[in-house]
């Protein structure tokens, strides 16, 4: 029974995609998309809200019809409208929409004109040159489809970190409530805060005889019990996520936590150091001969092999071991270091909350500033603003700042970078802003050279400050466009510009390796949420997690500064 907000949102997104393939009314499609976005941003479960008899139709983007469908899903586990639609639209067509450059409208044409139903038939048609013959496609589009198919090779299914977080938290709470249980923690890639998670590894310490195994396999979201023993069990949840449980003795807790946190490459490298010291490391402890010399805590493990403690996010064998040997590990940025958010939207474009409400939410988080960066006019689907509307918003921000205490609303815009590298708004209005965030929302298929040139040309504008979501990727949905990341970073450094680490869980753009690249070059990054409602401001933790994986320290992040210092950094030379 799908009771989690993310599960219901996924079903609404699937419904929207199928409707769009079918050629349904765009307003109906958009209603499901907007509802899915609302569900993902809610701080509470709709199942709990329904249990407390709250009216879901009062939520932004959720009318009576969709509120009824949510209630149907929570109460029955079925979404009848979607089940009926899936009988009409071939399931393989949804997979086609995940290819770069193939949206639902083009997929509909391929299906109607060529009878294509899945990836295999699409590749066959492309290789035979049949797609180029369709109106609006052509040879280049056909070639791009073949390239996308090559990149779309089947991979291990991985779940977005944010989607797994609620499941992990609830499962941990469930196990902690078991009599006799002491420690419960999720290890693996989840603890290393990777952007996607393959499965969950839960470690437990408990008193002898505690019914932890029974409680684990009887959890209400378990769909299948794969295996069950006295100290180990594996289950599959309704979401398809695999969860492994290991009950470990207290004396081995640190060793097991270290071992199952990984990564494999990091563990192998540390074990090699241990061997040189005539030690052996496994999930039960560090041994010298038959004697266990460490294992109760992770700190003991590192100390036994002569290393400083290495934070879980760094354990990827990317230089952290060498840094630990030389006492040069970074002092990683924390959420508490963040002074404000430099990319957020209001209801003036595609946000859901007013300027005042966004500012109030930022103040509650302890921020001293919040940049409102609504879309420019090129993004028509988001009701983007022209110069006249933006000027009115700037006046509204001035009036609001005159009334606010303890928080400052910064005047900004998320301006579109056009195909030729020019900006979507004139310098005459950009010059009045506190900061300009530039972004690409179209033209994803340009070559690596042309896309990089486009971005660098935009940075030449003296009012450009931060490049938003620099690769445009959507995790598990859309690969990023091709750019010369090193070249773009060098250009930003030369021009006094910066790049954003977008904390939206669907984006987490930049990748951790690019965060490290920026740090090594001396290029500061802005960790921003791209919030479209008040609750989205709390996504900052995902951006900070990604930054920590990229070795970022507070001094590497723009928005760890107070406004006066940040203002100096944003001033273009």
Q: Which structural domains are found in the chain, ordered by start? A: 5-151 (1.10.150.110), 159-247 (3.30.460.10), 252-325 (3.30.210.10), 335-570 (3.20.20.140)
Mean pLDDT of 538-566: 97
pLDDT bucket at 190, cuts 50 / 70 / 90? very high
**Is the peptide bond prior to 263 cis by the omega test (within 30 degrees of 0)?**
yes
Q: What is the pLDDT of residue 40?
A: 81
How many residues are present in the chain?
A: 573
Q: What is the pLDDT of residue 493?
A: 96
Mean pLDDT of 550-571: 97
Q: Report d(CA 85, CA 120) in Å as an integer.
A: 23
- Asked whether residue 230 carries a pLDDT value surpassing 60, the answer given is yes
- Asked whether residue 2 carries a pLDDT value surpassing 80, the answer given is no
pLDDT tens digits along 121-169: 888 888 888 888 888 888 888 888 887 777 665 545 789 999 899 899 9
The DSSP code sequence of 362-425 is HHHTT-SEEEE--BBTT-GGGT-B-HHHHHHHHHHHHHHHHH-SS-EEEEEEEEEB-TTS-BSS
- Asked whether residue 269 carries a pLDDT value surpassing 80, the answer given is yes
Mean pLDDT of 215-227: 92
Nearest alpha carbon to residue 141 among 99, 111, 180: 99
Mean pLDDT of 528-557: 96
Query: How does the average pLDDT of the chain come out, rounded?
Result: 91
As to burial, measured by CB atoms within 10 angstroms (0-12 exposed, 13-18 middle, 19+ buried), residue 364 is: exposed
Do residues 265 and 316 make contact, with C-beta atoms less than 8 angstroms apart?
Answer: yes
- Asked whether residue 226 carries a pLDDT value surpassing 70, the answer given is yes
pLDDT bucket at 573, cuts 50 / 70 / 90? low
- Asked whether residue 411 carries a pLDDT value surpassing 90, the answer given is yes
pLDDT tens digits along 250-266: 999 999 999 999 999 99
Place of tokens 């036994």: 304
Q: Which residues, 6 or more positions from 448, have their beta carbon under 8 angstroms from its beta carbon?
A: 482, 483, 484
Nearest alpha carbon to residue 476 among 112, 159, 1, 67: 159
Nearest alpha carbon to residue 60 among 538, 542, 535: 535
Q: What is the pLDDT of residue 156?
A: 54
- Asked whether residue 52 carries a pLDDT value surpassing 70, the answer given is yes
pLDDT tens digits along 305-342: 999 999 999 999 999 999 999 999 999 999 999 999 99
CA atoms within 13 A on the CB side of 86: 13
Q: Which residues, 6 or more positions from 65, have their beta carbon under 8 angstroms from its beta carbon?
A: none
- Asked whether residue 111 carries a pLDDT value surpassing 90, the answer given is no
Q: Report d(CA 231, CA 216) in Å as an integer.
A: 11
Nearest alpha carbon to residue 311 among 338, 280, 334, 339: 334
Q: What is the pLDDT of residue 189?
A: 96
pLDDT tens digits along 459-494: 999 999 999 999 999 998 888 899 999 999 999 999
Per the model's pLDDT, the better-predicted residue between 343 and 380 turns out to be 343
Q: Report d(CA 567, CA 564) in Å as an integer.
A: 5
Do residues 107 and 115 make contact, with C-beta atoms less than 8 angstroms apart?
Answer: no
Q: What is the pLDDT of residue 201?
A: 96
Place of tokens 């994986």: 549
Per DSSP, what are the bridge partners of residue 409?
370
- Model's pTM, two decimal places? 0.83
């Amino acid at each position: 029974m799908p009771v989690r907000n993310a599960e219901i949102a996924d079903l609404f997104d699937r419904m929207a995609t199928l409707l769009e393939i079918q050629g349904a009314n765009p307003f109906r499609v958009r209603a499901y998309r907007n509802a899915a976005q609302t569900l993902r941003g809610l701080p509470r479960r709709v199942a709990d809200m329904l249990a407390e008899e709250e009216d879901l139709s009062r939520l932004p983007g959720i009318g009576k019809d969709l509120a009824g469908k949510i209630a149907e899903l929570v109460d029955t586990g079925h979404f009848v409208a979607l089940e009926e639609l899936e009988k009409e639209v071939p399931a393989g067509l949804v997979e086609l929409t995940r290819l770069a450059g193939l949206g639902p409208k083009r997929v509909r044409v391929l299906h109607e004109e060529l009878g294509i139903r899945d990836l295999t038939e699409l590749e066959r048609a492309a290789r035979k040159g049949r797609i180029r013959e369709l109106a609006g496609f052509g040879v280049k589009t056909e070639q791009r489809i073949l390239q996308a198919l090559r990149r779309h090779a089947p991979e291990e299914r991985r779940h977005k970190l944010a989607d797994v977080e609620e499941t992990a938290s609830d499962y941990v709470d469930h196990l902690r409530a078991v009599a006799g249980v002491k420690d419960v923690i999720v290890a693996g890639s989840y603890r290393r805060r990777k952007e996607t998670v393959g499965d969950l590894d839960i470690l437990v310490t408990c008193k002898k005889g505690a019914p932890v195994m029974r409680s684990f396999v009887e959890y209400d979201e378990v769909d299948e019990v794969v295996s069950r023993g006295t100290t180990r069990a594996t289950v599959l949840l309704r979401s398809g996520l695999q969860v492994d449980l290991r009950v470990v003795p207290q004396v081995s807790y640190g060793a097991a936590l270290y071992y199952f946190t990984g990564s494999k490459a990091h563990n192998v490298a540390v074990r090699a150091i241990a061997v040189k010291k005539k030690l052996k490391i496994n999930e039960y402890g560090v041994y010298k001969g038959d004697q266990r010399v460490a294992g109760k805590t992770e700190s003991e493990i590192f100390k036994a092999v002569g290393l400083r403690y290495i934070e879980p996010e760094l354990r990827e064998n990317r230089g952290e071991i060498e840094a630990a040997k030389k006492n040069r590990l970074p002092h990683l940025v924390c959420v508490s270091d963040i002074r404000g958010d430099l990319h957020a939207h209001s209801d003036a474009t595609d946000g859901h909350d007013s300027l005042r409400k966004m500012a109030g939410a930022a103040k509650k988080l302890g921020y001293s500033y919040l940049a409102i960066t609504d879309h420019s006019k090129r993004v028509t689907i988001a009701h983007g603003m022209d110069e006249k509307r933006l000027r009115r918003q700037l006046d509204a921000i001035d009036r609001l700042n005159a009334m606010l205490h303890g928080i400052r609303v910064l005047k900004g815009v998320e301006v579109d970078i056009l195909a030729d590298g020019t900006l979507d708004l004139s310098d005459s209005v950009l010059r009045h802003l506190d900061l300009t965030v530039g972004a690409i929302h179209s033209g994803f298929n340009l070559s690596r050279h042309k896309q990089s040139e486009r971005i660098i040309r935009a940075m030449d504008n003296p009012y450009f400050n931060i490049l938003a979501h620099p690769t445009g990727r959507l995790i598990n949905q859309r690969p990023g466009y091709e750019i010369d990341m090193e070249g773009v970073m060098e250009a930003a450094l030369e021009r006094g510009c910066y790049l954003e680490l977008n904390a939206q869980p669907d984006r987490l753009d930049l990748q951790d390796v690019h965060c490290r690249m920026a740090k090594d070059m001396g290029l500061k990054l802005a960790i921003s949420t791209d919030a479209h409602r008040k609750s989205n401001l709390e996504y900052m933790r995902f951006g900070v997690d990604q930054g920590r994986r990229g070795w970022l320290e507070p001094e590497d992040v723009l928005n760890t500064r107070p406004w006066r210092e940040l203002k100096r950094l944003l001033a273009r030379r």
